[in-house]
Amino acid sequence: MPTDKQIQGLWERCADKWEDFSGGHRHWMFNGKWYEGTSRWVEGKLEDSPPIDLNNLFKYAVPKLVTFLATQPVGCPSILAIYRWIFERWLEELKEESDFATAFFNVCYKAFGGNQ
Distances (CA, A) of 74 to 41, 77, 83: 38, 9, 12
C-alpha–C-alpha distance, residues 44 and 18, integer Å: 22
Distance CA 67, CA 102 (A): 22
Give the pTM. 0.83
Q: What is the DSSP letter of 50?
A: P
Short-list 32, 63, 36, 31, CA closest to 49:
36
pLDDT (tens digit per residue) in 48-79:
778 899 999 999 999 999 999 998 887 778 89
Each domain of the chain, given as residue ranges in start order, spans 4-111
